[in-house]
Structure 1
């Protein structure tokens, strides 16, 4: 059985195995700046396109784009998860394709289909890629990408869509600053006493994480963070709505006050730990769900951890919650010895 060792969180030798993934997390802001600079001139073409009949998004982070655009987009918006395009898409519609991380065959098919139908297209992909081979149409705008960072590419696309008056204002420079701040606060070189991600890893050391985010964006971040916990630790981790998490919290076995969480826990007896991603959304239903989760957790003596951020734009808050959770997943894996062999 793997035992969590909190001493490894400040042990540079133990952290060395996780250096590649920690470095990639820390460089998120730099990648966003690179992608923004590369797209600076091509994006200007979006200012002159006519208002489309509808917007169809395909590829990586399409649902993130939908979460940002749906509340404000002046035309219907569809995040299309299938190969090809809906049968009704034509020359009056805008197809947004995000392929910064590769050329999946279905995505190539979608971009080629958009070109064949004469649709307006906005494509984020490397300039030398199979997807780019289908972007020669005059009605297509190519935003060149270089880092394979799907989130950075999506933020650049959002910025371009704002220029086309189809989405909210996004300041990539401020989003990159928010990413840099998380990287500084959650650095492997910052010790446990002042590192929110290491503290969170310690809080979930003996738990099955249950992750909740109330707003649309916080809920998306919760799913990504839960995926990172599962991949990094091999443990069950669930992101779900409050009504789905409450029965699990209510069914938690009573805590043994004499148990040592680092030596006495066996996987079958591991209790849930609640992680709340709070982006400060003041919607009445979201706050009620938040209060309900805290009440049930307290009643069942379930530990609650919170990642909170209430300043800045929606995207700034989103990346802060997401990146902090990603750092925590890595540190939890480090504490469990999954990145090293000591």
Structure 2
């Protein structure tokens, strides 16, 4: 059972100090990696005449980079799950390998890029195995100081912007968004005013259903679900609007007067709906949001809305993901894990 008293309990918070410190350092890691990569990024000069035919990104954060760049990239951008590379990739195509952290799939893709003569942009720690595997005359190494997936993604987008394949953006804006979440979600901020503690308390004994309307908000919802599952050891679902509505419609209406000892249906965990809003206004997002809230109202399902901070696409995404990280941490604390 979830015990919200643990969220302000000094001993319980001390036991989770490592997790909370790691979350608080996200902004610092973005700044550190951006500083470490500054010289290498400065050497990348965008030239329209030397643009690749396409960009193939590989690695754990490749889909995030694609989601940010695909609408504005002047050439086709593919996030390839591997193994290897797509059959059409060749010497006219840029391969971007993100080592966050390194894995055999990324190593195989880098080796395949070298074999095919593809220009290779590698963003990883300079002493990592990926940097060694990917070394070649066609390789450009953009070194980072950490293997934080979000920080590596930020550096990668910054490098591609310098090469003329993405719109310029401020790294500090992303770091500042992470810092703002860290301050408002600090363990020293009590339950009464700490939004992430309140979110953890609201879903503590229920099954979280997570939805984000835009591409980046939907990706943030998946990161939330992964974190909540790890923290609680229980189910958490991030899905499209139609699937969320189907789950809500399959649940019986909540009966506030049901006796969980007499009614086995009432003893089952209820659904707790969390909507992630990254401030993208689109007709399809408004329609899906209305359908989900309508289904929640029909069945008496509780719902919370989480709004991203201000800034560009990546800063708003970072804000949502950081909020989910703290919510998952406090969920684990409240469950005594």
TM-score (norm 2): 0.94
How far is 1:251 from its partner?
A: 2.1
Contact 1:275–1:304 under 8 Å retained in 2? yes
Q: Is this contact kept in 2: 1:99–1:107, CA < 8 A? A: yes
CA deviation digits over 1:136-164, x for unaligned, max 9?
33432111122220110011100111111
Q: Provide the rounded CA distance (Å) in 1 between the counterparts of 2:222 and 2:264.
A: 26
Runs of 4+ in 1 over 4 A off after TM superposition: 264-268
- Select 1:35's aligned residue among 33, 36, 48: 33
153 and 322 in structure 1: CA distance in 2 versus 1, 3 angstrom threshold: same
The answer (yes or no) to whether the contact 1:215–1:281 under 8 Å persists in 2 is yes
Alpha-carbon distance, 1:183 to partner: 0.3
Tell me which of 2, 5, 17 is aligned to 2:3: 5
Cα deviations by residue, 1:216-272 (Å, 9 ceiling, x for unpaired): 0000000010011111101110000010010111222232324699xx999961110
Q: Distance in 1 between matches of 2:13 and 2:215?
A: 33
Q: Any stretches of 5+ residues in structure 1 without a counterpart?
A: none
Q: Name the structure 1 match of 2:143.
A: 144
Q: Secondary structure at the match of 2:323?
A: helix
CA distance in 1, matches of 2:300, 2:148: 39
Counterpart of 1:44?
A: 42
Q: Tell me the alpha carbon deviations over residues 83-130 of structure 1, each in whole angstroms, 9 at most, x when there is no partner.
A: 21122222211100001312x222212112212322211101121122
Conserved 8 A contact 1:135-1:141: no
Q: 1:268 to 1:81 in 2, by over 3 A?
A: farther
- The worse-fitting range, judged by mean Cα deviation, of 290-299 and 105-114 is 105-114
Instruction: Tell me if 1:200 matches 2:186.
Output: no
Q: 1:48 to 1:166 in 2, by over 3 A?
A: closer
Q: Show the counterpart of 1:92.
A: 92
Instruction: Quote the Cα distance in structure 1 between the aligned partners of 2:326 and 2:29.
Output: 17
Question: What is the DSSP-based 3-state SS (H/G/I as helix, E as strand, rest coil) of the residue aligned with 2:154?
Answer: helix
Alpha-carbon distance, 1:16 to partner: 1.5
SS in 1 for 2:243: helix
CA distance in structure 1 between the partners assigned to 2:215 and 2:266 by the alignment: 32
1:319 aligns with 2:318: yes
Aligned residues between the structures: 333
Report matched runs for 1:198-237 at 5 Å: 198-237=197-236
Query: Which residue of structure 1 lines up, in the alignment, with residue 156 of structure 2?
Result: 157
Deviations 1:290-330 (A, max 9, x none): 11111111121100011112521001110111110111111
Residue 85 of structure 1 aligns to a residue in which SS? coil
Provide the secondary structure at the position in 2 that maps to 1:131: helix
2: distance between equivalents of 1:5 and 1:42? 49
Answer yes or no: is the 8 Å Cα contact 2:181–2:319 preserved in 1. Answer: yes
- Structure 1 residues 310, 186: CA separation in 2 closer, same or farther (over 3 Å shift)? closer
Name the Cα RMSD after superposition: 1.9
CA distance in 2, matches of 1:105, 1:281: 36
Residue aligned with 2:274, SS: strand
1:290-301 superposed matches below 5 A: 290-301=289-300
Q: Is the 8 A contact 2:255 2:266 kept in 1?
A: no
Partner of 1:21: 19
8 A contact 2:258–2:266 mirrored in 1: no
CA 1:208–1:138: 2 relative to 1, 3 Å: same
- Relative to structure 1, the CA distance from residue 267 to residue 336 in structure 2 (aligned partners, 3 Å threshold; closer, same or farther) is farther
Question: Following the alignment from structure 1 to structure 2, what is the Cα–Cα distance between the partners of residues 333 and 267?
Answer: 24
Unpaired segments ≥5 residues, structure 2: none
Retained in 1: the 8 A contact 2:100–2:124? yes
Give distance in 2, aligned partners of 1:134 and 1:41: 22
Q: Secondary structure at the match of 2:45?
A: helix
How far apart, CA to CA, are the structure 2 residues paired with 1:275 and 1:246?
A: 13
How many angstroms apart in 1 are the aligned matches of 2:100 and 2:295?
Answer: 42
